[in-house]
Amino acid sequence: MAIEFQGVTKQYPDGTVAVDNLNLTVEDGTITVFVGPSGCGKTTSLRMINRMIEPTGGTVLLDGKDVRDSDPALLRRGIGYVIQHAGLFPHRTVLDNVATVPLLTGWDKSKARKRAAELLETVGLPAELGKRYPAQLSGGQQQRVGVARALAADSPVLLMDEPFSAVDPIVREELQDELLRLQTQLGKTIVFVTHDIDEAVRLGDKVAVMRVGGKLAQYGTPSDVLRHPVDDFVASFVGKDRGYRGLSFLSADDVEVKDAPKVEVGSTLSGPNSEWLIAVNDAGQPRGWLPPNSTVDGPISEASLVAGGSLYEQGTPIRGALDAALSSPASLGVVVDADHKVLGVVTARQVLDVIEGHPQAVNE
């Protein structure tokens, strides 16, 4: 279901213009990210889609129909909406929070709760959490519940207003991964608001960069915005390190994965090791590094290991391979498969050689 902004403006009674003549189309089944500094009108633009804010000029079309022709309450029930702090009802269980919209649309309680339980599984939460209250969940779990509740509307449209900005960076990356996984399954039309350009280029099929005063500065694919900023404002906003961000769009297929020097947790050393060793569990998944010349009395435990930096999942963009190599205490990036089983290692030099020879690398 496409969303179209036709000359949309929002001006408040004091004369403040929050959005100024916005024209763009959010294509069906894609993620479009509104990004920009505070006061650029990105959240206002989002909220005009579900009529939480009414425009003072122009038209917002949803599937070709003017949203002003719909009753606001009915319109909102049919559009998923996720906000920064999840916005869960504190006095309702997780299951009843997710079941809110189905109940409002006339479903009986049993059917609504069954659907809610299915959605908790969809967003990666165990069924037993359904009996808890929001205060008993972590911030990341609450945000997953918020996404599940938004999906309960079973609408082709999902609006997300800085949904992951209140959680720590590790949880934020997990939630971003979860959203991308869900999108491959569900194919929603998603409008996502963030102030973080890294999040924008990671999630968006299209990125709308907005400037203070509510004007659209540039609208295009993340790769286009990074490689070809239209003016100094966009170039400054996406950052002088946009070349590094551009690695998110380059393949690492040409990077040779070399054999990994491994040792199993629970095994014993026959003598001091001469090199860094990746310690793996029974499933072959990395648990950390054993430094050179380690002397371990008895079986190797995780307590004797050095944290290993980030992991690079084979088949994902080359930026992850470089991150893994640079963050590793051994200067060896650990390459894993989709099940996090160790496949081998890469060095930063290997990755940089491939980047330097790539015709699509972003140059400053």
pLDDT surpasses 50 at 364 = no
Residue 363: predicted pLDDT: 46
The pLDDT > 90 percentage for the chain reads: 46
For 202, other C-beta atoms within 10 Å of its C-beta total 20
Per-residue pLDDT of 246-272, as tens digits, reads 777 777 888 899 998 889 999 888 777
* CA–CA gap between residue 38 and residue 236 (Å, rounded): 15
The pLDDT value given to residue 106: 84
The token pair at 11 is 């001006």
Ranking 112-126, 166-180, 341-355 by mean pLDDT, the lowest is: 166-180
Per-residue model confidence as pLDDT tens digits over 272-292: 788 899 999 999 999 999 989
When pLDDT is averaged across residues 310-315 and rounded to a whole number, the result is 88
Q: Order of strands, edge to edge, in the sheet holding 189-194? A: 80-82, 157-161, 189-194, 31-35, 206-211, 215-220
Using the predicted structure, report yes or no on whether residue 357 has a pLDDT greater than 70.
Answer: yes
Length in residues, the chain: 364
The pLDDT, as a whole number, for residue 190 is 95
User: Could you tell me the domains of the chain?
Assistant: 3-249 (3.40.50.300), 262-356 (3.10.580.10)
Report, as an integer, the average pLDDT of 158-187: 86
What is the pLDDT, as a whole number, of residue 361? 53
Across the range 91-95, mean pLDDT stands at 93
- DSSP 8-state symbol, 78: T
Residues 6 or more apart whose Cβ sits within 8 Å of residue 279? 262, 263, 264, 265, 286, 287, 288, 289, 290, 300, 302, 305
Q: Which pLDDT does position 240 carry in this prediction?
A: 64
Alpha-carbon gap, residue 205 to 219, rounded angstroms: 11
Which CA distances in Å does 89 have to 80, 94, 104, 109, 259?
16, 9, 15, 17, 51
SS3 350: helix
Q: Which of 147-156, 261-270, 302-311, 354-363 has the lowest mean pLDDT?
A: 354-363
95's tokens:
């299951």
pLDDT for residue 242: 67
Which uninterrupted H or E stretch holds 220? Answer: strand 215-220
Q: What's the mean per-residue pLDDT of the chain?
A: 89
Q: What's the pLDDT score for residue 187?
A: 92
